[in-house]
Amino acid sequence: MTDDARWQPSERYPDPSIVALDLSFKRYHLPLSAVERLYHGTRWGEGPVWLGDARCLLWSDIPNNRVLKWEEETGAVSAWRKPSNNANGHTRDRQGRIIACEHLGRRVVRFEYDGSITVLADSYEGKRLNSPNDVVVKSDGSVWFTDPPFGILGWYEGEKHTPELPPTNVYRIDGQSGEITCVADDIDHPNGLAFSPDESILYIIESRSEPRNILAYDVNGATLRRRGTFVACQPGETPDGFRVDIDGNLWCGWGMTAAFDGVRIYNKAGAPIGHVHLPERCANLCFGGRHRNRLFMAAAQSLYSLYVGTQGVAGG
């Protein structure tokens, strides 16, 4: 591909930007599907979430302090929320309400059906959160989120502040009581996170280890145990946000060099099986569409999509 300013979709099938690293990837690669660019013009795209009932995708443009909406029917893009408090990660709970992480607000919020906003978490043990980054909701209604300080390091993705809490923590909000607990305090700047299909494993990106790691914890009800390294990345590989499909594969936003920019796919054994090359770094992604078989990729300046031969897990 050429650089993103002149990017054009593949005019032939199969799309050469979709590469199998293992024969097992063949079942997930649809030969008659190509990468599509749906929008160009963000400063740093992040946190996509699919709204099936509205047939649209929301995703964050953090430095521009807005959340954008792409409409499936028309392809139109508009501002869904501006200002957005420099919102980053998004997901939906099991009742369909949108959950958002805010850098500027330094909080996790929920959008109610009437449009009002409920603050789920903004502090822990009397100290302000750093800048909640990414979020997932478990089937029991609990909300799990990472809290590195990226949004308070300067004035580009939030406002500069001195952290009050360690940059190593992952938190859980109880779905019934709303109680906030720290479930991990040993991760060097935790970033993206997602559950395995049966919710027995929580995967978390350790984004300031050198090189980065994808960690795996056993889930024991409301707690985590047995930290392990699921993927020890190679120098230059920078995983960020990711989601899991129904077969347990991790579809990971990847990048920082031309060789790695895009999406790297790992099977549940931690082996790389495929790569979707993009002309820019992919920060985060989600599955959407009627059957959760369309991969939406929020890259630095653009939004891309690709139909794949699998489905994202429910609630992912």
**Distance between CA 280 and CA 64 in Å, rounded?**
18
**Distance between CA 40 and CA 75 in Å, rounded?**
12
Q: Is 240 a known ligand-binding residue?
A: yes
For 24-53, give one letter per residue: b (16+ CB within 10 A) or e. Answer: ebeebbbeebbbbbbbbebebbbbbbbbee
Q: Is 169 a known ligand-binding residue?
A: no
Residue 52, CA distances (Å) to 19, 39, 137, 194, 251 in order: 29, 19, 17, 20, 20
Q: Is 85 a known ligand-binding residue?
A: no
Q: Hey, what are 30's tokens?
A: 């649809």
**Distance between CA 58 and CA 7 in Å, rounded?**
23
Q: Hey, what are 166's tokens?
A: 């360690």
Cα angle 169, 303, 95 (rounded to 5 degrees) comes to 55
**Distance between CA 210 and CA 82 in Å, rounded?**
36
Residue of 240, 245, 247, 261 marked catalytic: 240
Query: Does the active-site annotation cover 240?
Result: yes
**Distance between CA 115 and CA 45 in Å, rounded?**
24
Q: Hey, what are 217's tokens?
A: 């914890």
Q: Is 157 a known ligand-binding residue?
A: yes
Q: Is 198 a known ligand-binding residue?
A: no
Burial environment of residue 5 by CB neighbours within 10 A (0 to 12, 13 to 18, 19 or more):
exposed
Residue type, 67: V
DSSP reduced 3-state for 212: coil
Annotated catalytic residues are: 240
Question: What are the binding residues?
Answer: 46, 133, 157, 191, 240
Known binding site for a divalent metal cation: residues? Answer: 46, 191, 240
Binding annotation for substrate: 133, 157
